[in-house]
Amino acid sequence: MADPRKTRRSVDTAAGDGVRNKLRRWLHWLGALALLLLFAGGGVWGVITLRDPAVLPLKIVRIDGEFKNLDRRALEQAVGGVMEGNFFTVDLDVVRAAALRLPWVDQVTVRRIWPDTLNMWVEEQRPLARWGDTQLVNGRGGVFTPEPTALKGNLPTLAGPTGHAPEIVARYQRMDNLFATLQLEIAKLSMDGRGAWTVGFRQGIELKLGHADTEARVERFVRLYPRLEQTENHKVKRVDMRYANGVAVLWGEAS
């Protein structure tokens, strides 16, 4: 028969082991929690410290690029007006957006260079043509509004509905290459609200293409033009390619 005293001692020992195991587990979790709080506190302290503008301040803002029309001083002022924070906290998107608000700025790249430099690469707008009366357009169809004096150059004029600048620019570039073989230079290319195209040449000739089959009509004109008689007494003033089976030519007196 089992001794009751031995049985009680076994129960007491097991109960004590359970308490000790629970205590060890609690101590383990408390240690992990303390370590976590230590790291969290250190992280918060680090974030607060790094957000201090006096810590790792930006000392150099370097602007690279080739500028012909862009005023570097205006660019520096625009960027300087939004430059806040230190090396880590300065908002690169805000700096880039400030530069892009200048009309002659086309593209901007901004990056940090350790430990105290902000480097900007700025690409200036390269106007391909006038867009309407008060704007310019680049080779990708990007429209921008410069100072009025920039509109006095000898650029061709492109015109059309809002939002169609990329299409009109692409059409101009294709046509310009074709017409160059005829020694004709585009002075104006326009698309009206119905999609009809008209070309004006610096040689004083107007070309009507309409809104349908315009590519084929351009090719027909390129084949036809060398056969049109040009004399000292009369010159071609207008060529209308909008006819399915023919063409209409308006002649004018030579100047």
The CATH number linked to 240 is: 3.40.50.11690
Query: What was the pLDDT predicted at 246?
Result: 87
Low-confidence ranges of the chain (pLDDT < 50): 11, 42-50
The CATH number linked to 95 is: 3.10.20.310
In a domain, 91, yes or no: yes
Q: Judge if 70 and 141 occupy the same domain.
A: no
Domain count, the chain: 2
In a domain, 203, yes or no: yes
Q: Judge if 228 and 240 occupy the same domain.
A: yes
Among the three residues 72, 106, 124, which one is the final residue of a domain in this structure? Answer: 124
Rounded to whole angstroms, the Cα distance separating 165 from 131 reads: 8
Query: What was the pLDDT predicted at 134?
Result: 94
What's at 19, amino acid-wise?
V
Q: Judge if 149 and 218 occupy the same domain.
A: yes
Q: Which residues pair with 113 in a beta bridge?
A: 117
Residue 225 neighbours by CB distance under 10 Å: 18
Predicted TM-score (pTM) of this structure:
0.77
Q: Judge if 148 and 207 occupy the same domain.
A: yes
Query: What was the pLDDT predicted at 35?
Result: 61
In a domain, 119, yes or no: yes
Average pLDDT, the chain: 85
Q: Judge if 245 and 141 occupy the same domain.
A: yes
Query: What was the pLDDT predicted at 253?
Result: 77
Q: Judge if 229 and 117 occupy the same domain.
A: no
For residues 215, 219, 221, 225, the Cα torsion angle rounded to the nearest 10 degrees is 160
Q: Judge if 182 and 104 occupy the same domain.
A: no
Q: Judge if 144 and 249 occupy the same domain.
A: yes
Q: Judge if 76 and 188 occupy the same domain.
A: no
In a domain, 107, yes or no: yes
Q: Judge if 247 and 134 occupy the same domain.
A: yes
Rounded to whole angstroms, the Cα distance separating 108 from 114 reads: 20
Rounded to whole angstroms, the Cα distance separating 142 from 151 reads: 16
Rounded to whole angstroms, the Cα distance separating 183 from 203 reads: 9
Query: What was the pLDDT predicted at 225?
Result: 93
Residue 222: which domain range? 127-253
Among the three residues 100, 124, 148, which one is the final residue of a domain in this structure? Answer: 124
Query: What was the pLDDT predicted at 50?
Result: 42
Q: Judge if 119 and 131 occupy the same domain.
A: no
Query: What was the pLDDT predicted at 9?
Result: 53
Query: What was the pLDDT predicted at 55?
Result: 73
In a domain, 30, yes or no: no
In a domain, 183, yes or no: yes
Query: What was the pLDDT predicted at 27?
Result: 66
Q: Judge if 240 and 156 occupy the same domain.
A: yes
